[in-house]
Chains A and B, each alone.
Chain A
Amino acid sequence: MKKFFSIGLVRGLAWQILGTALGIGFVTLVRLLLRLPAWKAEPAVVFGALIGALFFLYGVGVMDGWLKQASGEEAHDELDDTHLGWRRYFGASLDHKVIGIQYLAFSLSLMLTGGTFALIFRTELAEVQMQFLSLNQYNTLMSLHGMIMIVSILLGIAAFMNYLVPLLIGARDMAFPRLNSFSFWIAVPAGLILLSSLLLGGVDTGWTGYPPLSARAPLGMQMFFLGVSLAGFSSILGGLNLIVTIVRMRAKGMTPFKMPIFVWAALATSLITLTATQLIGLSFQMVMFQRLFGMGFFDPSKGGNPVLFQHLFWFYSHPAVYVFVLPGLGLISELLPVFVRKPLFGYKWVAMSSIAIAMVGFLVWAHHMFTSGMAEYLRVPFMYSTLLVAVPTGVKFFSWVGTAWRGKISFDVPMLFLLAGIFVFLFGGLTGPPNATISTDLHLQDTYYIVGHFHDTMYGGYIFPFFAAIFYWFPKMTGKRLNEKLGKLQFWLIAPSFTIMSLLMMRIGLLGMRRRIADYDPAMGFQPYHFIMTVMGFITALGVLVFLINLFITLKRGKSAPGNIWNSRSPEWQAPSPMPVHNYDKPLEVVGEPYDYGLPGSRFVKFEGEE
């Protein structure tokens, strides 16, 4: 029993339950003292959930270092290498590699949850009329599918940025290891709170949570808002940490234009998460306050303005899609040269295009609101700023094509996923401008065309590069190589079925299928399409299942792969696999260009004392 409670996660959960109970009790007690009716669910549960999250952070031990410092003791950022068992993955660790893997595991489990939700309501859609879900259940699953996937993507990119950035720049760890640990662990209670909305009446607004609907949705809505706000802290603090790490911790000789391209992508992403995330938190908290204290921000009867919510919300939520895809696009640029054995084409342009996408991304939010009744003169500038995003994105495509051109391409599993990423992201990218153009958007707004478009950008910009990265760096994380045959099977299950699904989504969207609705008119003739999409959805899920089996088998009895199996120039592959606890034995120095593949005798880094 004592051993069981020595696991950080278990202690955290126990404390969270305690904290939630105390918070609920506290509100009830205060109401009793104020001679109000003692039990009112909404304030009690919201306060309880908040206190529960804080107690979780205390219980898991992630604040120990700060509390020690606050009480005047010395607290070191030094790594404790005595506990190297599986247990360290379930407690607060300061090692960026452990934290990266924790992010990865949590992200995958959330993704499985969100994917399961999608399968459930996808099955409901296969046939007209409602079969086994109530309307509220459909809405809840559909809304939570969106938000859980978003959180899982945020955690997934954080996984790779945490694991890779310090390795790629030759640092011992992140700039603020304790903050790094905090950023991860706050996402855990946030995820649990978000999921708890399932049990508290559900969420029926879609992932955007627009008032006035969200101001009178069931109690689950509050958990949804609170969970996302807390997950926002993870994103903000993670971004802060990454920026400081990239600016301050680079190895000797690594000037900005010698950084690996993924580091540039991480920097661009972090600039967005650091700043814009505050505004989704604020907009959600304003709705929470409207519900809790009657504050009339978005209530027209009190002089409020519902469109204000949309401005605040999209100021984050549009740049957020660049947060999701920039690291993935960075991964494509990072890995493509390895598999085509050629230098990256136009390195500086690719580096700058990430920053440009991030910057332009701040100026485009109102293109989500062309039909929202915002001032008409605002539409045209937002249309042009949105179309401008295509330029730096085009630079990336040009670079990928130029890199692959006449290369010695080897079709390992990571390369297959990279190619699928490029292919599907091209679909996602080309279907974007029609949504940015006002005249066509007035027709496309809120149809399945949009759903198809953003699923293509998410799969091309995140899911496929993410799988490529897992296959590529799994040997670095564990010392074992994932099974190539199962990898190829997974690829051929997911890539075609997903592509068919998203193209059909766009097809019926153009014909007038509304998004977010639980049922549709049989006379529209969409039923066969929906049936095919459901089948494709299940095939995609089968591919994910193959991936899980692959993970399990490889961890149990995979082939060991200690060396530089991809023949990469990157510094982390010059070190043994799995990566030693303190990263590099000796400080490294940059002596060449990062992507000079195929140039005889050239190298990117050398270690101290090496010739």
Chain B
Amino acid sequence: MAEKPHTPSYRLGVFVFLLLAFLTALEFVLSLWLNVWQLLALVAVIKAGLVLYYYMHIYRLFVSDPEADHESYVYKLATNRMGLWLFFISDLFLFGGLMIARFNLLQLTHPDLNQVVGLIVTGVLLLSSFFANRGETAMARGDRKQFLISIGVTMLLGILFLVGVIGVEWQIAPFGPGDGVQGAIFYSMTGFHAFHVLTGVVFLFIVLRNGLRDRYSAEKHWGVEACVVYWHFVDVVWVFFFPALYLIGKVFGS
């Protein structure tokens, strides 16, 4: 397998996490002092690029051996990866449609939301992505204990994110889903995203349970990889939703 010449490293994950945290802080500060949407979009694209490359390993899609036997594990693994990524492309059209609706209806303003809660839930999701990556790295190194701990922490952080969005943000927002377009946009965008987070939490739970039963090995752990990459995908969506819902422009109607 061409993609594993060296042991996957924990340190790379930490480094990428720090970079993402810095960029998130940067975009938050940028939105306060210099609210130019192009800059915010640029930061979001850089963040998404980092996650796509270092956490979702997009380059693995392009590593395959065309001569391999169609029934071999390596070949099937690459086939599965392609299926998962096509699913992401499809799903991106759903989230893209929501973004189009958002910019059509709210233009360059954002709903009247609590900035602190927004920053906290974003941080929670970012941290969960770090642990998800750590879990996958641990599995690839054959470190089962670290893998179980990391996946468990990821799942708890995912639940915390849901509590933050649905339990706190939805309750304290000064508008309901029926109150004007900002309500429609805010509840539909967070709702669709939260549904994906929920499915991710269920997926993590399944992987954790199968991990406890020792179903994965350092060589064969497609289930872990799929779950973690899906989790990062949901994170990438939030990378764009966070500035779109909290940061861009002035408060709607002000």
Contact = CB atoms under 8 A, between A and B. Distances in A.
Interface string B72-90: 0001001100110011011
Contacts of A281: 94
B97 A279 contact: yes
B213 interface: yes
Interface stretch (B30-38, B129-137, B181-189): B181-189
Contact of B100 (A175, A277, A303, A311): A311
A302 B82 contact: no
Contacts of B185: 297
Interface in B203-254: 206, 209-210, 213, 215, 223
Contacts of B5: none
B101 A297 contact: yes
Contacts of A248: 70, 75, 78-79, 82
Contacts of B206: 70
Given A248-B79, A297-B101, A312-B100, A303 B180 contact: yes
Given A240-B87, A279-B97, A312-B100, A289 B70 contact: no
Interface in A267-306: 274-279, 281-283, 286, 289-290, 293-297, 302-305
Interface string B168-192: 0000000001111101110110000
A179 B79 CA distance: 14
A368 B101 CA distance: 19
B105 interface: yes
A240 B105 contact: no
Given A279-B97, A312-B101, A294 B178 contact: yes
Contacts of A295: 177-178, 183-184, 187-188
B178 A293 contact: yes
Contacts of A308: 100-101, 104-105
A373 interface: no
Interface in B62-121: 70, 75, 78-79, 82-83, 86-87, 89-91, 93-94, 97-98, 100-101, 104-105
Nearest to B210: A72
A436 interface: no
A241 B70 CA distance: 16
A282 B97 contact: yes
B181 A297 contact: yes
B89 A275 contact: yes
B79 A244 contact: yes
A302 B184 contact: yes
A304 B83 contact: no
A296 B104 contact: no
A187 B7 CA distance: 45
Given A278-B97, A295-B178, A249 B70 contact: yes
A247 interface: yes
A142 interface: no
Contacts of A276: 93
A274 B97 contact: no
B24 to A, nearest CB: 28
B33 to A, nearest CB: 29
Interface in B13-59: none
A338 interface: no
A296 B89 contact: no
A247 B86 CA distance: 12
B181 A304 contact: yes
Contact of A296 (B86, B94, B181, B213): B181
A176 interface: yes
Most A C-beta atoms less than 10 A away, residue of B90, B104, B206: B90
Contacts of B100: 308, 311-312
Contact of A302 (B87, B181, B213): B181
A270 B177 CA distance: 35
A244 B83 CA distance: 6
Given A70-B206, A71-B209, 8 more contacts: A179-B83, A241-B83, A243-B86, A278-B93, A302-B184, A304-B105, A308-B101, A315-B97
Interface of A: 69-72, 175-176, 179, 236, 240-241, 243-244, 247-249, 274-279, 281-283, 286, 289-290, 293-297, 302-305, 308, 311-312, 315
Interface of B: 70, 75, 78-79, 82-83, 86-87, 89-91, 93-94, 97-98, 100-101, 104-105, 177-181, 183-185, 187-188, 206, 209-210, 213, 215, 223
26 contacts: A240-B86, A248-B79, A248-B82, A274-B86, A276-B93, A278-B90, A278-B91, A278-B93, A278-B94, A279-B94, A282-B97, A282-B98, A286-B101, A293-B187, A295-B178, A295-B184, A296-B180, A302-B178, A302-B180, A302-B181, A302-B184, A303-B180, A304-B105, A308-B105, A311-B104, A312-B97
5 shortest A-B CB distances, which residue pairs? A294-B178, A295-B184, A278-B93, A303-B181, A278-B94
